[in-house]
Amino acid sequence: MTKQPYRILLSKIGLDGHDRGVKVLARLFRDAGHDVIYTGLWQTAQGTMCAAMQEDVDVVGVSLLSAAHMTVMPEVLKWRKQYGIEHVPVVLGGIIPTSDYDAVRQMGVAAIFGPGSSLEDILREIDRLGAEAVHGTLDDARAGYAIGNQVALSKLITHVQRGTTDGAWSPPAGKALVLGVTGSPGVGKSSFIDKLSRELRTRDLKVAVVAVDPSSPVTGGALLGDRLRMMAGTPDQNLFIRSLSSGDVLGGLGPKIEEVLALLKGFGFDVILLETVGAGQADVAVRELVDKTLLLLMPDSGDAIQFSKAGLMEIASCFVVNKSDLEGADRTVAQLTAAVGTDRPLWKVSTLHCEGIDQVAEWVVGLRP
């Protein structure tokens, strides 16, 4: 494990039909102790570099199997400049003819990995590039933050997470409504947040998302996969997403979350959605940091006795039965109502069919002063 994990973003740009190879690399970097943000299949150059900016990554890795490197990589580097992150090295992997290597390097690509590249060589080069990563000075980040620069916001979050702030400055108070979104693994928190945040954007609210994923207790690395559920469509400058690893923090959150929320509030967001690690019954720490807590469940995820237990059920401000297009949704709603009563809102939601999201959004809007 490295003393300080690097943040590595991996992206499949274009219409490649599978991502087996890039998932191998994601696990490789995670097992080496790094934080890996994987954005999934069918990404765009713009979406990739917007994600790299918001995540303040040390290295971007692009995987291409479609022989489109001479078209795609200039777009990637164009958007890197557009988002003000030319300091971030971009590496390319995939089916790249060796005759094109010089031209691709001249574009500004830091390294190229073909089918014959060993995992050891790839990891060694990523470690080298990560060690040379530039995050700028704290004073520059604070100055940029003061004028609404998202690059500066991203870098300040990194400084806070890595403990490189000096305690001599604090952000403005801000007036954001902070909502915790919690629930067991696989209940669909990230997909729900994606749909809810975009519904809130239709109401002209500026939205920030903080998504926490678990760190490995063995290597300290993390696969930060929540963002891949939130990468659809053209990037929106008023929708900011940041992925964080839990480190050694228990309770479903991660280090310095309170300070990160303060930065987002001070930046002027209207609503902040804090997604916890897949939660168990005792993971209730989120309630100390948020205004309201949304607890997501799914059909047949328990019965009236399960729903009556202490812990997570007690801290919920409202309940969302997600994946309600599945069989058993009405039965779960009935059992949940029998256990907790009708004092707290309860909605059936299907993120697959975009049903019920608007009702939750209206509730959120009604909470704002």
pLDDT for 28 beyond 70: yes
Pairwise pLDDT comparison (40 vs 264), residue with the higher score: 264
Q: Which two tokens stand for residue 191?
A: 């997909």
Q: Which of 49, 37, 44, 52 is nearest to 15 (CA)?
A: 44
3-state SS, one letter per residue, for 112-174: EECCCCCHHHHHHHHHHHHHCCCCCCHHHHHHHHHCCCHHHHHHHHHHHHHCCCCCCCCCCCC
Amino acid at residue number 42? W
Of 167-171, 287-291, 318-322, the range with the lowest mean pLDDT is: 167-171
The per-residue pLDDT for 304 is 63
The per-residue pLDDT for 23 is 93
Q: Given this structure, which CATH class describes domain 7-131?
A: alpha beta
The per-residue pLDDT for 19 is 86
* Residue 189 host element (H or E): helix 189-201
pLDDT for 102 beyond 50: yes
Q: Could you tell me the pLDDT band of residue 32, with boundaries at 50, 70 and 90?
A: very high
Q: Which of 187, 181, 190 is nearest to 276 (CA)?
A: 181
Tens of pLDDT along 313-332? 899 999 999 999 999 999 99
| Distance from chain centroid for Cα 84 | 20
pLDDT for 158 beyond 60: yes
Tens of pLDDT along 54-88? 999 999 999 998 789 999 999 999 999 999 999 99
pLDDT for 276 beyond 90: yes
The per-residue pLDDT for 2 is 43
User: Looking at residues 300-306, what average pLDDT do you find?
Assistant: 70
pLDDT for 1 beyond 70: no
The per-residue pLDDT for 3 is 61
The per-residue pLDDT for 159 is 94
pLDDT for 369 beyond 90: no
The per-residue pLDDT for 135 is 78
Q: Which of 267, 55, 259 is nearest to 176 (CA)?
A: 267
Tens of pLDDT along 175-225? 999 999 999 999 999 999 999 999 999 999 999 999 999 999 999 999 999
Pairwise pLDDT comparison (141 vs 301), residue with the higher score: 141
**Percent of the chain surpassing pLDDT 90:** 81
The per-residue pLDDT for 67 is 83
Q: Report the mean per-residue pLDDT for the chain.
A: 93
3-state SS, one letter per residue, for 195-222: HHHHHHHCCCCCEEEEEEECCCCCCCCE
- Fold matches, 7-131 and 177-367: yes
Q: Given this structure, which CATH class describes domain 177-367?
A: alpha beta
Strands 222-224 and 292-297: unpaired
pLDDT for 302 beyond 80: no
Q: Where are the domains of the chain?
A: 7-131, 177-367
